[in-house]
Structure 1
């Protein structure tokens, strides 16, 4: 990635990596409140319609637990606030949610597994107070492996992540699976308004709880790990999406990651979503007519 950010002052970098300051809909504090409200209401509408299997362990850590959600109607329902966007993907089998004390949640769909990782920058910082970047990445990889092991009949894995969650989903793509007992069959990845190079945030508030060194940032930057992607361009489809009103740095992160993937022959497309900001781009996943929803369903062969 180009090193344009090195010329920026700290306050400008922090503005660039503060998504709420770039919304055209409302003031920064208001857009966050509206996002929280939308997430809460979406979850409340979805709550109560599913049978659940809760706190199934996928690791030895206290927070390494897996929740299974089995819809009792044609509508997907989930409990946690961060799980609500995927409720749209109805008329398909089982849903699972995996969460740790450190990580955004992972939602998986059976028999074609759909993994959803969501985290805002603020959530990222809060979670990092409890651990470190290496551990976060390790746990999200472990949770994916556990889902595949427990449901060995699945025919493929689809990843989706938003914001810092897109970073974690991209790190799953960059996994050296020889270190694990299985190699998941990843058929697609849907990366929304993500961060793919951690070096620019080293001098910002985001790194204050993380205390990442340059070495840690590099080994956890998907854009630096593209050479080790072992995905077949014929079987794994990657969509890199960015909001029209994301900050210039967020937009550049997506553009550079897309171009780097493309240069290695990956099956990747980029979606610049008009009339959206960092929050509305993911909030609209409840709308079946939303462009990204149609793309996601098409990727999974459900359109």
Structure 2
């Protein structure tokens, strides 16, 4: 029986099926996949904290979860590229403390890595999360003004938050970051469908909230052009992400192109919603190599 038929028997709606990433995994069951994802994240973070110079739990604001971890390469300098990562978890789970997947392979190549926490629902609203992400990036810019570029990456809900930075208003944060690239991995860019699934019970999103915080809609109504039209935006999805994740990614990529951004679309073969990010622990992984080639401007 196909996944959608199995889920409908259990009383799921088609929309719930499409926005349930763990239901589309192909090599493990949903529970084992989520357990493996958490375990790999925990282990990668512990290794990162033990192996290299780092600054942990650095406050970028006054709230309890307004903290970030900074991991440095051996050649520690302020004049480094900074890779800033925002975790997923449907805006209501996840933490920087189990999300340092990419630290080892990136710091080994001379890239500083910043992993950010933010207030998750129900404590945090979407507006607060977007503001916190903006604040965290401005903090990195002000702390390391000689950086060689800030590269934003988000996974799932984190990709949504990173995408909101494309048209962020930096004025009130007192710093315009030196943004040089975006890596948006298996993200959601139109939030209206989320209003109609159980995940919205914690988010309490209204239609106005969804529209205001949808990167897809913000791009379509934006009157401004990219500050740097050469800044690459990679929209990335796994082959085994659900059809809705594919649709959202492709339509957002198309909106970026219409808006004048230097966007590309990548479907990574034989990967699901979780493998696509946990494989960043590997230096030879295709996405790791994409990130390094973008940062170091290799063709």
Shorter-chain TM-score tier: 0.7 to 0.9
Per the alignment, residue 252 of structure 1 pairs with 247
- Note if contact 1:50-1:71 (Cα within 8 Å) is conserved in structure 2: yes
State the SS of the aligned residue for 1:240.
Answer: strand
Match of 2:100 among 61, 68, 83: 83
- Note if contact 1:174-1:228 (Cα within 8 Å) is conserved in structure 2: no
CA distance in 2, matches of 1:169, 1:219: 15
The two structures, once aligned, show a CA RMSD in angstroms of 2.3
Q: Residues 141-177 of structure 1: CA distance to partner in whole angstroms, max 9, x if unpaired?
A: 1011111011111132111111111000001112122
In structure 2, stretches of 5+ residues that fail to align are: 1-10, 77-95
How far is 1:93 from its partner? 5.2
The structure whose residues are more often strand, as a share, is: 1
How far is 1:71 from its partner? 4.6
TM-score (ref. length: structure 1): 0.81
Q: 1:69 to 1:294 in 2, by over 3 A?
A: closer
- Note if contact 1:52-1:68 (Cα within 8 Å) is conserved in structure 2: yes
Per the alignment, residue 25 of structure 1 pairs with 27
Match of 1:297 among 274, 292, 296: 292
- Note if contact 1:68-1:97 (Cα within 8 Å) is conserved in structure 2: yes
CA distance in 1, matches of 2:126, 2:281: 30
Match of 1:280 among 265, 270, 275: 275
- Note if contact 1:245-1:275 (Cα within 8 Å) is conserved in structure 2: yes
State the SS of the aligned residue for 1:83.
Answer: coil
How far is 1:131 from its partner? 1.6
How far is 1:134 from its partner? 0.5
CA distance in 2, matches of 1:86, 1:138: 25
Per the alignment, residue 57 of structure 2 pairs with 55
How far is 1:65 from its partner? 2.7
TM-score (ref. length: structure 2): 0.82
Q: 1:63 to 1:34 in 2, by over 3 A?
A: closer
The number of equivalent residue pairs is 267
- Note if contact 1:237-1:267 (Cα within 8 Å) is conserved in structure 2: yes
In structure 1, stretches of 5+ residues that fail to align are: 1-8, 103-126
TM alignment of 1:126-205, pairs within 5 A: 127-205=120-198
How far is 1:291 from its partner? 1.7
Q: Residues 203-257 of structure 1: CA distance to partner in whole angstroms, max 9, x if unpaired?
A: 1111101111100100100001112564245431000000101011111000100
Match of 1:223 among 204, 216, 219: 216
Which shows bigger deviation, 153-162 or 238-247? 153-162
CA distance in 1, matches of 2:42, 2:56: 20
Per the alignment, residue 82 of structure 2 pairs with none
Q: Residues 37-91 of structure 1: CA distance to partner in whole angstroms, max 9, x if unpaired?
A: 22233334334112333333222223323433345599xxxx8321222321123
